[in-house]
A and B are shown apart, each in its own frame.
Chain A
Amino acid sequence: MHGTPLAIALLVAVLAPLAGAIVSGLFLRNAPKKAVSLVSVSAVFVSFVAAAIAYVGLDEGSLRFEGYRWFTIPLGGGQGVPIEFALSMDALSGMMAVMVAGIATLIHLFSVGYMAEEESYARYFAYLNLFTFAMQLLVLAANLPLLFVGWEGVGLCSYLLIGFWHQNLAYEAAARKAFIVNRVGDVAVLVGMFLVASLTGTLDFEALSQRAGVFDVPAFGVLGMTAATAVSLLFFWGATAKSAQIPLYVWLPDAMAGPTPVSALIHAATMVTSGVYLSARMSPIFVKSSAALTVILLVGAATALLAGLVALTQDRMKKVLAFSTVSQLGFMFAAVGVGAFSAAMFHVFTHAFFKALLFLGAGSVMHAVHAHGDAELDRLGGLRKALPVTSLTFLVGALSLAGVPLLAGFFSKEQILHALFGAAGNAQLAAGGVAVSIPSWAATTAIVFLALAALSTAFYSLKLYLRTFTGEPRHDAEPHEGGLEMKLPLVLLAVGAVLAGYLWLPAEGLERFAESLRAVVRDALPVEAHGGALPMIVGLGALAIGAGLAVALYKGKAEDPLPAKLGAFYRAAYQNFGVDALYDRLFVRPVAAISRFVRSFDFETIDGLFVGIPSGLATVGSKAVRQLQGSTVHSHALGMVVGLVLVFGYFGYPRLEVTIRHEGARTVLEVPPSFGYSYRVDFGGDGTYETGDFRADLTALAVPPSAAKKDRVVLLVHREPLDSEPVEVWLDEHPRELGERELGADFIPPGARGALPIMAWIEDGAVKLRTNLPGDEPEERELRPGQSHRIGAARLVATGVAFARVEVKNAFGHVTVQELEFPFRGRARTAVRGGSRRIP
């Protein structure tokens, strides 16, 4: 292990919370609560201090702590991708690490008061510490696999914390949903990691950003995507799960079942932003794919709007905040989608303050009115006098979220809008020399979506404040503020919610913050603001309308007038537009059904598979089920016999996969060599086998000219550029028109359209061509197979069609036959038919 003393700080920042978790989880179980608080709060605080020291000491460039060679991903042939156990900090991870530890410290502190009555106090703090550890590991990891460890870790802790209060297994659904949705995303991250490793030979972030040039070349195609698009979309898929984007956002609102400080820490400030963080980390690859960015932009904007609309209608504090989080994450991804990674990270930063503040405020309210789990807005109201600190700080948070000028949320949201307007304005964004283009319709759509989302943000944040703190009380508790340990975090976070935005201002002494970040992430956009005053007008307009509506509707009202006013839309939005129900029907029920089905895997299943499906045997099947049901020796033995027959059946019939390869002028048939296989081939279909009897040593065979069929010729039409794949035209004696598809649109002069410019047919084993081009005399020519002819920009080549009957015999004397027709040159295809029989 080596590294500068400063690099050791990275290790401390990561390990301190782990130590805290171990001590309080395993050894302080029966200790006084004060001891637990002391250990766990100070563990996180130590992490904060260490991260801050490292961050401050981080001048230009990065800091790295080298551990040891963790493992090597084998890549075959002695090759491998070495993976170090290493931590590193640059402007991006530094900002995240300090923010995570800082907010975690405040939330730990708040929890001391909030969870004071909790029985499993030590367990709670152990989980919280463990979570902070995983998050710091995620942020400070120097390579993807280590990041993945943290990535899994935060998911796991979130899982444990969501289920924290549940007394039995029946209530764990929310926790399990969260975990499974996250795992669905993990698969994509893993696959993306494999791809990156095999393409670039490294998974280290630093090396990766240097080798990102690999992605400039369209290295391979996956479903018609370039490598950059495939990798970006895979990582984005992972991010949609962790950062709750469409279609994987369903888990986050349900995850509010845990204690409120947990919601604040995990589901607002830290874990959910890790998807954005990963995107920013991968920005050197992301910016190389316009397609992926467009997808991200649209998904982000749609999520922002959809979740914003759902948030309007929710009637519980935490539910509103949860959907609000989903919506704000949508904003961040919209920024990622136009390649404005630093704007996205800016919003991550400001959002962390005000959303943590709002959640803790909600926690403070719930603590005050003794609401369990969540607080219904209909049972709150008028809390301003009883909870002055909470009320004031909550207002600050709500206004910051709404985007009131000069508060943190305003600045970051403005930057996102600026970026979007920039993208809509000039379709070409320059990123490291590669042009990225976002279709302007996509950018415009996103702007509209985000403007509406901003409007609804303003509306629901004001609504939340008004319905909670103003008007007549609709509850019968005697509310009181929590202790200092609860008030202090609120105040500090409120300060952050006001000031965090100024760090980004191009002011003297502050510019380093934003500048150094931009040096790390690869923004596709130039730094300067775009779109003039328009983004600000849109933002402020949305704010004014939303806030105005909220005040008009809710000022002094006891009832929520929204359900009546919006009617069916309200109900639909309240139910999350039926998405949960849809998922239930699409995924949950089928899986449950399959599991029931497989669980009964003995006779019922074998029966279902082999007997039940063909309806004619249904009666036999049901009888068999009744008589053989059960887990007896019998049923298992039959299962084995079924297996044996299947295994035997696999080898019973030979498989034949003929590939046709063109080597210059030669056309070669290739057959897979295999044990006990022997082949014979009949060319031309005359019944004589050119290879003699079945031969085991046959692997490749040149197709002789005699294989050509007399009545078939293929015309290969090469268009400019001539090295592209030719278009094949199979000809017979009926004259055929060569039109736009074969010759290309530009080839056919305007006057010739519909006037049969070139006709082709086959006569005496040769191609006859009649050209009828405007301006030229009609002309007729003949092309023998092998000859070529040029007309304008096209080159026409005539080639014969070969016929081959390939037969393969396996060790058991079973023969599979395939008859093939294929042109001597051009694309090889066209299996005419196949079949099996037995030759003893």
Chain B
Amino acid sequence: MEFGIGAYAVLATTIFGIGALGFVVRRNFLVQLMSVELMLNAVNLLFIAFNRIYVEQHGGQSFAFVVIAVAAAEAALGLAIAIAYHRIHRSVETDLADRLRH
């Protein structure tokens, strides 16, 4: 049994979907953040898989590297916001934040 790049793409899409689903249905700040990480990982997998087709350069792998670096920055900032959020609500349940409305 052989698996082409299509299989990787299907896998990446599945992971992306799971991440998106998690983001939409969960209300825990940290789990939502982890869902976003899942989505970013799916993107990385896609980049690296597609790079396997275009072997004469490393554009996809470079992009994946950048995504990992930026994801690190994003996670750090996000966790700082999560802590600030926790200080106010004593919880990380994001549905508690609904003070801002018409």
- A contact set with B: CB distance below 8 Å: 599-600, 630-634, 637-638, 641
B23 touches A637 (CB 8 A): yes
- Tell me the minimal C-beta distance from B47 to chain A in angstroms: 20
Among A599, A631, A632: residue with most chain B CB under 10 A: A632
Interchain CB contact under 8 A, B97 and A632? yes
18 A-B pairs besides A630-B101, A632-B98 with CB distance below 8 A are A599-B102, A600-B102, A630-B98, A631-B100, A631-B101, A632-B27, A632-B94, A633-B27, A633-B32, A633-B94, A633-B97, A634-B24, A634-B27, A634-B94, A634-B95, A637-B24, A638-B24, A641-B20
Residues of A within 8 A of B101 (CB): 630-631
> Which residues of B (60-102) have their CB < 8 Å from a CB of A?
94-95, 97-98, 100-102
Q: A630-B95, A632-B95, A633-B97 are in contact. Are A641 and B24 (CB under 8 A)?
A: yes
- Give Cα A633 to B32, complex, Å: 10
Q: Is the CB of B98 within 8 A of A631?
A: yes
Question: 12 interchain pairs (CB within 8 A)?
Answer: A599-B102, A630-B101, A631-B98, A632-B27, A632-B95, A632-B97, A632-B98, A633-B32, A634-B24, A634-B27, A634-B94, A634-B95
The closest CB in chain A to the CB of B21 belongs to A641
Shortest CB-to-CB span from A645 to chain B, Å, is 11
A637 CB contacts on chain B under 8 angstroms: 23-24
Q: Of all chain A residues, which has the CB nearest B96?
A: A632
A600 CB → nearest B CB, Å: 7
Known: A599-B102, A600-B102. A633 touches B95 (CB 8 A): yes
Q: CB-CB < 8 A to A599: which residues of B?
A: 102
Within the complex, the shortest CB–CB distance from A459 to chain B, in Å, comes to: 52
Find chain B residues with CB under 8 A from A631 CB. 98, 100-101
0/1 interface trace, chain B 2-30, chain A, CB 8 Å (1 if under): 00000000000000000010011001000
Provide the residues of chain A in CB contact with B97, threshold 8 Å. Answer: 632-633
Contacts of B94 in A (CB 8 A): 632-634
Chain A residue numbers with a CB within 8 Å of B24 are: 634, 637-638, 641
CA of A23 to CA of B100, assembled, Å? 43
Cβ of A321 to closest chain B Cβ, rounded Å: 42
- Distance in Å: Cβ of A381 to nearest Cβ of chain B: 52
List the 3 closest A-B pairs by CB distance, nearest first: A630-B98, A631-B101, A633-B94
Q: How far is the CA of A630 from the CA of B98 in the complex (A)?
A: 6
> Cβ of B98: which chain A residues have Cβ within 8 Å of it?
630-632
Shortest Cβ distance from A602 into B: residue: B101
Taken together as a complex, chains A and B put the C-alpha atoms of A631 and B97 apart, in Å, by: 8
A600 to B102, CA, bound (A): 8
Residue of B nearest to A599 (CB): B102
Alpha-carbon distance between A641 and B98 when the two chains are bound, in angstroms: 20
Which A residue sits closest to B32, measured CB to CB? A633
* CA–CA, A633 and B20, complex, Å: 13
CB distance from A624 to the nearest CB of B (A): 13
Smallest beta-carbon distance B82→chain A, Å: 12
CB distance from B97 to the nearest CB of A (A): 7
CB neighbours of B95 from chain A (8 A):
630, 632-634
CA distance A631 to B94 in the complex (A): 11
**Nearest B residue (CB) for A601:** B102
Q: How far is the CA of A631 from the CA of B99 in the complex (A)?
A: 8
Closest to A638 in B: B24
Q: Which residue of A lies closest to B99 (CB)?
A: A631
Name the residue in A600, A630, A633 with the highest tally of chain B Cβ atoms < 10 Å from its Cβ: A633
A86 CB to closest chain B CB (Å) equals: 47
A631–B95 Cα distance when bound, in Å, is: 9
Q: Which residue of A lies closest to B24 (CB)?
A: A637
**Neighbouring A residues of B23 by C-beta, 8 Å:** 637
Note all chain A residues with C-beta closer than 8 A to B100: 631
- What residues of chain B lie closer than 8 Å to A630, measured between beta carbons? 95, 98, 101
In the complex, A599 Cα to B102 Cα: how many Å? 7
Min distance, Cβ B35 to any Cβ of chain A, angstroms: 10
Residues of A within 8 A of B32 (CB): 633
Interface centre among A600, A631, A634, A641 (most CB of B within 10 A): A634
Q: How far is the CB of B33 from chain A (nearest CB, A)?
A: 11
Docked Cα-Cα span, A633 to B23, in Å, equals 10
Report chain A residues within 8 Å CB of B27: 632-634
Give B21 Cβ to nearest chain A Cβ, in Å: 9
Binary per-residue interface labels of chain B (34-66) against chain A in the complex, 1 for a CB within 8 Å, 0 otherwise: 000000000000000000000000000000000
Tell me the bound Cα distance from A637 to B97 in angstroms: 14
User: Which residue in chain A gives the minimum CB-CB distance to B23?
Assistant: A637
**Alpha-carbon distance A632/B23, docked complex (angstroms):** 13
Q: Considering only CB atoms, which chain A residue lies closest to B20 in the complex? A: A641
Q: B61: shortest Cβ distance to chain A, in Å? A: 27
Q: Bound complex: CA of A253 vs CA of B27, how far in Å? A: 56
B10 to chain A, nearest CB (A): 15
Least distance between B89 CB and chain A CB atoms (Å): 13
CA distance A769 to B70 in the complex (A): 81
Chain B residue at minimal CB-CB distance from A637: B24
Give Cα A630 to B102, complex, Å: 10
B91 to chain A, nearest CB (A): 14
* In the bound complex, CA of A631 to CA of B102 (Å): 9
- The CA-CA distance from A633 to B26 in the complex, in Å, is 10
**Within the complex, what minimum Cβ distance (angstroms) separates A781 from chain B?**
66
Specify which chain B residues have a CB less than 8 angstroms from the CB of A641 in the assembled complex: 20, 24
Nearest chain B CB to A602 CB, angstrom units: 9
Nearest A residue to B98, CB-CB: A630
User: Measured between alpha carbons, how far is A590 from B16 in the docked complex, in Å?
Assistant: 42
**CA–CA, A529 and B102, complex, Å:** 65
A440 to B88, CA, bound (A): 79
Q: How distant is A632 from chain B, measured CB to nearest CB, in Å? A: 5
Minimal Cβ-Cβ distance residue in B for A644: B20
Minimum Cβ distance to chain A for residue B34 (Å): 14
CA distance A641 to B101 in the complex (A): 21
User: In the complex the two chains form, what is the Cα distance from A456 to B61 in whole Å?
Assistant: 87
A331 → chain B closest CB, angstroms: 48
Give Cα A632–Cα B102 distance, bound, in whole angstroms: 13
How distant is B23 from chain A, measured CB to nearest CB, in Å? 6
Complexed CA–CA distance, A641 and B25 (Å): 12
B20 surroundings in chain A (CB, below 8 A): 641
Complex interface: chain B residues within 8 A of A600 (CB): 102
Compute how far the CA of A751 lies from the CA of B45 in the bound complex, rounded to whole angstroms.
87
CA distance A633 to B92 in the complex (A): 12
Cα separation A641 to B23 with both chains bound (whole Å): 11
